[in-house]
Amino acid sequence: SYLHQQADAIGYPVLIKAAAGGGGKGMRLVEKSEDFIDLLASCKREAISSFGDDHVLVEKYITKPRHIEIQVFGDTHGNVVYLFERDCSVQRRHQKVLEEAPAPGMTSERRAAMGKAAVDAAKAVGYVGAGTVEFIANQDGSFYFMEMNTRLQVEHPVTEMITGLDLVEWQLRVAAGEKLPLAQEQLQLRGHALEARIYAEDPAKGFLPSTGRLVHLAPPAESLNVRVDTGVEEGDEISPHYDPMIAKLIVWDINRDRALARMLQALAEYRVVGVANNIEFLSRLTASPAFAGADLDTGLIEREKDYLFPADPVVPEQAWLVAALGELLREAERSAESARRGSDPLSPWHASDGWRINATARRELMFRHGETQKTVIVAYRPDGYRLTVDGHTVQARGRLNPRGLLRVELDGTRSDATVIVAGEKRHVFFHGRSWQLSCIDPLLHTGEGGGAEGGLLAPMPGKVIALVAAEGATVEKGAPLLILEAMKMEHTITAPAAGTVKTFRFAVGDQVGDGAELVDFEAATA
Q: What's residue 460's pLDDT? A: 73
Taking the C-alpha atoms of residue 439 and residue 323, their distance in angstroms, rounded to an integer, is 9
pLDDT tens for each residue of 442-462: 654 444 333 333 457 887 778
For residue 343, what pLDDT band results from cuts at 50, 70 and 90?
Answer: low
Q: Find the CATH number of the domain harbouring 481.
A: 2.40.50.100
| 405, 440, 475 - which closes a domain | 440
Q: What's residue 497's pLDDT? A: 86
The verdict on residue 399 lying in a domain is yes
Q: What's residue 444's pLDDT? A: 47
The verdict on residue 118 lying in a domain is yes
Q: What's residue 450's pLDDT? A: 35
The verdict on residue 7 lying in a domain is yes
Q: Which amino acid is at 328?
A: L
Nearest to 410 by CA among 325, 472, 309, 301: 325
Taking the C-alpha atoms of residue 362 and residue 269, their distance in angstroms, rounded to an integer, is 35
Q: Which amino acid is at 115?
A: G
Q: What's residue 138's pLDDT? A: 86
How large is the average pLDDT for residues 239-260?
A: 94
The verdict on residue 449 lying in a domain is no
Taking the C-alpha atoms of residue 194 and residue 283, their distance in angstroms, rounded to an integer, is 13
User: Which of 116-125, 234-243, 341-350, 501-510 shows the lowest per-residue confidence on average (mean pLDDT)?
Assistant: 341-350
For residue 490, what pLDDT band results from cuts at 50, 70 and 90?
Answer: confident
User: Which of 50-64, 299-313, 357-371 shows the lowest per-residue confidence on average (mean pLDDT)?
Assistant: 357-371
Instruction: Determine what percent of the chain is predicted with pLDDT higher than 70.
Output: 93
As for how many domains the chain has, the answer is: 4
The verdict on residue 16 lying in a domain is yes
Q: Are residues 344 and 227 in the same domain?
A: no
Residue 169 neighbours by CB under 8 Å, 6+ apart: none
Taking the C-alpha atoms of residue 344 and residue 120, their distance in angstroms, rounded to an integer, is 81
pLDDT tens for each residue of 211-222: 888 999 999 999
Nearest to 90 by CA among 301, 287, 364: 301
Q: Are residues 298 and 321 in the same domain?
A: no
Q: Are residues 183 and 141 in the same domain?
A: yes
Which domain range does residue 9 map to? 2-60
How large is the average pLDDT for residues 140-148?
A: 88
The verdict on residue 96 lying in a domain is yes
The verdict on residue 447 lying in a domain is no
Q: Find the CATH number of the domain harbouring 32.
A: 3.30.1490.20
Strand partners, 91: 96
How large is the average pLDDT for residues 60-88?
A: 95
The verdict on residue 450 lying in a domain is no
- The CA–CA distances, whole Å, from 316 to 20, 264, 322, 374 equal 48, 20, 10, 11
| 263, 279, 308 - which closes a domain | 308
User: Which of 85-99, 189-203, 431-445 shows the lowest per-residue confidence on average (mean pLDDT)?
Assistant: 431-445
For residue 354, what pLDDT band results from cuts at 50, 70 and 90?
Answer: low
Q: Are residues 174 and 51 in the same domain?
A: no
- The CA–CA distances, whole Å, from 197 to 91, 97, 200, 249, 283 equal 11, 5, 10, 6, 12
CB-based contact 214:420 (threshold 8 Å): no
Q: Which amino acid is at 190?
A: R
Residue 92 neighbours by CB under 8 Å, 6+ apart: 207, 301
Q: What's residue 140's pLDDT? A: 85
User: Which of 141-155, 251-265, 489-503 shows the lowest per-residue confidence on average (mean pLDDT)?
Assistant: 489-503
Q: Are residues 232 and 329 in the same domain?
A: no
Q: What's residue 54's pLDDT? A: 93
For residue 385, give the 3-state DSSP assignment.
strand
Q: Are residues 139 and 266 in the same domain?
A: yes
Q: Are strands 511-512 and 462-467 parallel, antiparallel or unpaired?
A: antiparallel
Q: Are residues 327 and 351 in the same domain?
A: yes
Q: Are strands 455-457 and 499-504 parallel, antiparallel or unpaired?
A: unpaired
Taking the C-alpha atoms of residue 521 and residue 456, their distance in angstroms, rounded to an integer, is 7
Q: What's residue 477's pLDDT? A: 87
Taking the C-alpha atoms of residue 25 and residue 22, their distance in angstroms, rounded to an integer, is 6
Instruction: Determine what percent of the chain is predicted with pLDDT higher than 90.
Output: 68
For residue 351, what pLDDT band results from cuts at 50, 70 and 90?
Answer: low
- Exposed e or buried b for every residue in 128-157, given b needs 16+ CB within 10 A? bbbbbbbbbbeeeeebeebebbeebbbbbb
How large is the average pLDDT for residues 372-389?
A: 93
pLDDT tens for each residue of 257-291: 999 999 999 999 999 998 999 999 999 999 999 99
| DSSP 8-class letter at 84 | E
Q: Are residues 268 and 323 in the same domain?
A: no
How large is the average pLDDT for residues 345-356?
A: 53
Q: Are residues 364 and 426 in the same domain?
A: yes
Residue 420 neighbours by CB under 8 Å, 6+ apart: 215, 216, 271, 273, 404, 426, 427, 429
Nearest to 323 by CA among 436, 210, 413: 436
CB-based contact 98:195 (threshold 8 Å): yes
pLDDT tens for each residue of 285-327: 999 999 999 999 999 999 999 999 987 778 999 999 999 999 9
User: Is a pLDDT exceeding 70 seen at residue 81?
Assistant: yes
Q: Are residues 245 and 268 in the same domain?
A: yes
CB-based contact 390:374 (threshold 8 Å): yes
Nearest to 436 by CA among 212, 276, 245, 213: 276
Q: What's residue 58's pLDDT? A: 94
151 catalytically annotated: yes
Neighbours of 249 (CB within 10 A): 25
CB-based contact 321:374 (threshold 8 Å): no
Among the listed residues 45, 92, 111, 151, the single catalytic one is 151
The two most distant CA atoms of the chain are separated, in Å, by 90
Q: Are residues 149 and 236 in the same domain?
A: yes
Q: Find the CATH number of the domain harbouring 95.
A: 3.30.470.20
For residue 348, what pLDDT band results from cuts at 50, 70 and 90?
Answer: low
How large is the average pLDDT for residues 348-365?
A: 60
| 413, 440, 467 - which closes a domain | 440
For residue 512, what pLDDT band results from cuts at 50, 70 and 90?
Answer: confident
Q: Are residues 45 and 171 in the same domain?
A: no
Strand partners, 323: none
Q: What's residue 83's pLDDT? A: 98
Q: Terminal CA-to-CA distance of the chain, rounded, Å?
A: 42
Q: Find the CATH number of the domain harbouring 325.
A: 3.30.700.40
> What integer best gives the mean pLDDT of the chain?
89
